[in-house]
Structure 1
Amino acid sequence: MQRRNFLKWISFFSAGAALPNFLAACNAQPSVGTGAGENAASKPLTIGVQPWAGFLGQYIALDKDFFSAEGVTVNEEYFQVATDTNTALAAGKVDLAWVGVPDLMTLVAQAPTLKILMISDYSNGADGILGRNINRAADLRGKKVAREDAPYAKIFLGSYLKQAGLSEKDVEVVSLSASDAATAFAAGRVDAATTYEPWLSKTVEEANGQILFTSKDTNVIPNGLAASAETIASRRDDILKYMRAIDKALAFAKTNPEEANQICAKKLGITAAEIPPQLSGIRIFDVKGNQEGPMNLSSPYSLVKSLQSGEQIITQLGLISKPIDAASLVDDSLVKSL
């Protein structure tokens, strides 16, 4: 199952500050919405998105009609799973899409001009690796390790193994969903498991294990806004308007957390009461946060550095046929111009 189909814990991050909290869910159904107003002059931008709390800027901007206020018409294609969003983006059926960056690294084989324009969020503690009688990465050599069969999970596990000079070839990988990986670990069927909240904290408490490694304060698992070079060239002004509306939505979430919770809950098919307790799992970036963090090579949240690290791992695993120039996947010119 896709990672975006599960409930996750999140915290809101902008320019170094923690903001309100939101929760992604898998029970939202595909839908189409429009953030259009009569003053929007150009043809619509079609946006692909799926249930994921990190994409709350899209949800709020659509609900509050911030897009038309910026002079851009937006049609939303709301997919149930990330793979459908990825397919639509690669096929050119949407102009922009909110995607997992590790997925994009494998998509460029089908659509080589795809670029990441801004980062929505990094996992910030929601993802982790559970272990039992494991003190360091080197201790996993020859052990059974469960992980989801998805690029993000392979990169995350690879990042930990790399600390000891290991790769997946040095362990026995068991492909399981995040929930099943946690269950297998609790039952003693595997020695370690890559999973995420709520299973991460719950399992470590119930299964006499420990958390070996988490995504907290890392740039290992990013998500963001992507488009083709052709779309960027032909719709640049509209994309800038779109980004301004997203930034306005994130500012709204900071100053109006209760209403933002309600908007997000309605979109994701859950209650507003379910949202606030789900804290500190992802780190969200607004425009200023992007400029200072992911789009800044000297930042610990540098997107290019994240891509470079991930590229080494997915090349080693054979997920891509040839190396990728990480910097070529990023177009930071738009967000830096805002």
Structure 2
Amino acid sequence: MLRIKTLIRSAAALGIAAGIVASAAACGSSSSSSKSGSSAAAAASGGTAASQLRLGYFANVTHATAMVGVAHGDFAKALGTTKLSTQIYNAGPAEMTALLGGQLDAAYVGPSSALSAYVQSHGEALRIVAGATTGGAELVVKPSITSAAQLKGKVLATPQKGNTQDVALRYWLKQQGLTANPDGTGDVSVDPQDNATTLDQFKAGHIDGAWLPEPWASRLVAEAGAKVLVDEKDLWPNGQFATTNLVVSTDFLKKHPDTVKALIDGQIAANAWITSDPANAQKLVNSELKRLTGKALTDAEIARSFTEQKVTNDPDASTLQTALDHAVAVDLLKKTDLHGIFDLSILNAELTKNGQSAVSDAGLGQK
């Protein structure tokens, strides 16, 4: 108990805990559970199947893997008798506070938020066990803004302080010679807020733009007349960067590797279905967005969102050190040895079993 309290205090010191209640309320956080009578999680070495798996994710297109895994039944089928309980979050910092506090066993989350939890727990709290999404994040602004220089004195939004898009925006601004300090001061004021609030604030003219994941960037473009100033894919080699990864509590992974294996099997199945049947995948994700948020996307918005990102089982491990370097550069994290943050052993075994290529941990696997 003392260790958990210490982790939560550390997370709060970084700003992770700030807004957890507001985030949950603003995005209409909800939970669901599913159960299957057949057991498909019996073939992992060591540990026992957990009676329950508590999984966090976002109502975002960049979390299509999770939404399809739940709604298409891939997770339930793979987990067998293990009950799946889900919780929805607006952004990663609040979600990682829940994981640090023992309220989640696994989570789909952006790399910067995963890094925050890893750094604050001194490498103890979690392991990245798979990728989920690459791409799907943009800086969208008022049409009158055509250059970085015009952002001076402007207000830009992100999903939450310290989340993946927040770090990306602050680092990009620094590269343009503009300051955006963690306390809100500087050449550009960064105002972290719930994504739905960002859409309303942009429509009302109270903010000038936002760095957002899909579908929110597409919604600002389609519904509010925003234009894309920066597509984050253009900032990374070959346009490849992790937007969403699957992380698991280290303690849960040690106790229940067979359940983690089942979750990964469900993900592999979900991603295979999304890739093979994108039209129906878009429809299913859109129906889940309506269920979770109360509002479906237009056909144009869901289509644009899907073209901006793609599902993957590869965590793009080679980009994680860069993500940490960016967070350090904007004073949101401290330098940390990342060796041990990845454990892709189960993923690679299951990929190989399914006739797919193993993925790299970029030398940052278990010590």
TM-score for the superposition, normalised by structure 2: 0.65
1:283 matched to 2:309? The reply is yes
Aligned residue number for residue 31 of structure 2? 30
Identity %: 19
Alpha-carbon RMSD: 3.9
Please state whether the residue corresponding to 1:279 is helix, strand or coil. Answer: helix
Q: How does 1:264-303 map to 2 (within 5 A)?
A: 264-265=285-286, 267-270=288-291, 274=297, 276-277=299-300, 278-281=302-305, 282-287=308-313, 290=314, 294=315, 302-303=316-317
Which structure 1 residue ranges, 5 or more long, are not aligned? 7-24, 295-301
Residue correspondences, number: 298
Q: Unmatched 5+ residue regions in structure 2? A: 1-18, 43-47, 352-367
Aligned partners of 1:328, 1:164: CA distance in 2, in Å?
33
Q: CA deviation at 1:63?
A: 4.8
Cα deviation for residue 127 of structure 1 reads 2.6
Equivalent of 1:53, from 55, 61, 65?
61
Q: Which has the higher helix share?
A: 2
8 Å Cα contact 1:35/1:66 also seen in 2? no
CA separation in 2, counterparts of 1:133 and 1:68? Answer: 48
Query: Could you tell me which residue of structure 2 aligns to residue 213 of structure 1?
Result: 230
Equivalent position SS for 1:112: coil
Name the structure 2 match of 1:248: 269
Deviations 1:95-128 (A, max 9, x none): 322223222222221473212111211342x532
Deviation per residue, 1:106-165 (Å, 9 max, x gap): 2221473212111211342x532425665543554x422322343233212124224334
Counterpart-to-counterpart distance in 2, 1:176 and 1:70: 37
Structure 2 matches for 1:1-338, cutoff 5 A?
26=27, 29-38=30-39, 41=42, 42-44=48-50, 46-50=53-57, 51-63=59-71, 65-67=73-75, 70=78, 72-82=80-90, 85-108=95-118, 109-110=120-121, 112-113=123-124, 114-124=126-136, 126-130=137-141, 134-140=145-151, 142-148=152-158, 149-151=160-162, 152-169=164-181, 170-175=186-191, 177=193, 178=195, 193-195=210-212, 196-204=217-225, 210-216=227-233, 218-219=239-240, 222-256=243-277, 260=281, 263-265=284-286, 267-270=288-291, 274=297, 276-277=299-300, 278-281=302-305, 282-287=308-313, 290=314, 294=315, 302-305=316-319, 307-320=320-333, 322-337=334-349, 338=351
Q: Which whole-Å CA distance do the structure 2 matches of 1:334 and 1:276 have between them? A: 37
Distance 2:72 2:343 in 1: 28
1:173 to partner: Cα distance: 0.7
Deviations 1:45-71 (A, max 9, x none): 513123333434344444555456556
Q: Secondary structure at the match of 2:332?
A: coil
Query: Are 1:144 and 1:172, in contact at CA under 8 Å, matched by a contact in 2?
Result: yes
What is the letter of the counterpart of residue 49 of structure 2? K
TM-score (structure 1 length as normaliser): 0.69
